[in-house]
Structure 1
Amino acid sequence: MQIILVSGPSGSGKTTVARILAQSRLAPSVHLHTDDFYAAIKQGALAPYLPEADEQNRTVTGVIARAAAGYAAGGYHTVVDGVVGPWFLEAYEKAAEAAGVGLVYVVLRPQREVALDRGMCRSQHPLTDRQILNRIYDGFTDLGPYEKNVLDSTNLTAEETAEAVLALRWDMDRRG
Structure 2
Amino acid sequence: MQSKGAIPPHLPESNEQNLVVIEAFLEAAKRYARGGYDVIVDGIVGPWFLEPWKALVREHYEVHYIILRASKEETLKRAVERSKLDRKTNIELVETMWEQFCNLGIYESNVVDTTNYSIQETVSAVQEKIASRAALLS
Partner of 2:125, secondary structure, is: helix
**CA distance change for structure 1 residues 111 and 47 in 2, over 3 Å: closer, same or farther?**
same
Q: Is residue 11 of structure 2 the alignment partner of residue 50 of structure 1?
A: yes
| CA RMSD between the two structures | 2.1
Measured in 2, the distance between the counterparts of 1:127 and 1:143 equals 29
Q: Is residue 37 of structure 2 the alignment partner of residue 76 of structure 1?
A: yes
1:43 Cα offset (Å)? 4.5
Q: Is residue 58 of structure 2 the alignment partner of residue 97 of structure 1?
A: yes
Measured in 1, the distance between the counterparts of 2:35 and 2:54 equals 17
| Alignment counterpart, residue 82 of structure 2, candidates 122, 126, 135 | 122
Return 5+ residue gaps in structure 2 as ranges: none
Larger Rg: 2
Aligned residue-pair number: 133
| TM-score, normalised via structure 2 length | 0.87
1:87 Cα offset (Å)? 0.8
Measured in 2, the distance between the counterparts of 1:75 and 1:173 equals 22
| TM-score, normalised via structure 1 length | 0.69
Percent identity reads 37
- Equivalent position of 1:164 in the other structure: 125
Return 5+ residue gaps in structure 1 as ranges: 1-41
- Equivalent position of 1:31 in the other structure: none
- Equivalent position of 1:66 in the other structure: 27
Partner of 1:45, secondary structure, is: coil
- Equivalent position of 1:18 in the other structure: none
Partner of 1:151, secondary structure, is: strand
| Alignment counterpart, residue 148 of structure 1, candidates 93, 109, 112 | 109
1:110–1:154 CA contact under 8 A, matched in 2: yes
Measured in 1, the distance between the counterparts of 2:67 and 2:135 equals 18
Measured in 1, the distance between the counterparts of 2:104 and 2:111 equals 9
Bigger relative contact order, structure 1 or 2 (CA pairs below 8 A, ≥6 apart)? 1
Measured in 1, the distance between the counterparts of 2:70 and 2:135 equals 25
1:170 Cα offset (Å)? 1.1
Q: Give CA deviations for 1:144-173 in whole Å, capped at 9, x if unaligned.
A: 110010010111101011001000111126
1:127 Cα offset (Å)? 7.8
- Equivalent position of 1:137 in the other structure: 98
1:66–1:95 CA contact under 8 A, matched in 2: no
Q: Give CA deviations for 1:15-51 in whole Å, capped at 9, x if unaligned.
A: xxxxxxxxxxxxxxxxxxxxxxxxxxx7510000001
